[in-house]
């Protein structure tokens, strides 16, 4: 009988592209929590003033704010990596050096988009 390892991580050399692949899946799952928070916020908005005030207090809690920061990072990572996968779907970027470079672009674009979103959330229309 052929002895085979139980899991690919026992065979393959670790690469950050593996982390990006795993993170893409995890951010998709994590954004389900964000969808539930969005539904809660929309229902509170459609409800009466007391329900809206309760939701406002909930969303102002530091733990929920931290969760929403994580959701923002997750959203932009998933978006950036999804664009990368769209390029793969049309056959671009399969070479090793291209895949590694696009992986770095995913990380960089995630950081830039997250910072831009936070800046717009904090500064709003007030300018710099």
Is 21 buried (19+), middle (13-18) or exposed (0-12) by CB count in 10 A?
Answer: middle
- Quick one: pLDDT at residue 5? 59
CATH number of the domain encompassing residue 92: 1.20.1300.10
Digits of tens for pLDDT over the chain (128 positions)?
A: 567 656 666 666 777 788 898 999 999 999 999 999 999 999 999 999 999 999 999 999 999 999 999 999 999 999 999 999 999 999 998 898 998 899 999 999 999 999 999 999 999 867 65
Domain membership of residue 109 (yes or no) is: yes
- Quick one: pLDDT at residue 25? 94
User: What is the domain count for the chain?
Assistant: 1
Domain span at residue 77 reads 13-123
- Quick one: pLDDT at residue 10? 62
Domain membership of residue 8 (yes or no) is: no
Name the 3-class secondary structure at 4.
coil
Domain membership of residue 92 (yes or no) is: yes
Q: Report which DSSP code applies to 12.
A: S
Domain membership of residue 6 (yes or no) is: no
CB 33 within 8 A of CB 71: yes
Domain membership of residue 1 (yes or no) is: no
- Quick one: pLDDT at residue 127? 61
- Quick one: pLDDT at residue 67? 97
Domain membership of residue 2 (yes or no) is: no
Domain membership of residue 3 (yes or no) is: no
Domain membership of residue 44 (yes or no) is: yes
């Amino acid at each position: 009988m052929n002895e085979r390892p139980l899991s690919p991580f026992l065979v393959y050399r670790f690469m950050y592209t593996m982390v990006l692949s795993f993170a893409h899946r995890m951010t998709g799952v994590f954004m389900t929590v964000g969808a539930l928070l969005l539904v809660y916020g929309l229902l509170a908005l459609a409800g009466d003033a007391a329900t809206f005030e309760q939701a406002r207090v909930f969303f102002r809690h530091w733990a929920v704010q931290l969760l929403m920061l994580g959701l923002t990072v997750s959203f932009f990572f998933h978006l950036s990596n999804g664009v990368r996968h769209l390029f793969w779907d049309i056959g671009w970027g399969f070479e090793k050096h291209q895949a590694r470079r696009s992986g770095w672009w995913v990380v960089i674009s995630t950081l830039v988009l997250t910072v831009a979103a936070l800046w717009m959330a904090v500064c709003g229309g007030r300018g710099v």
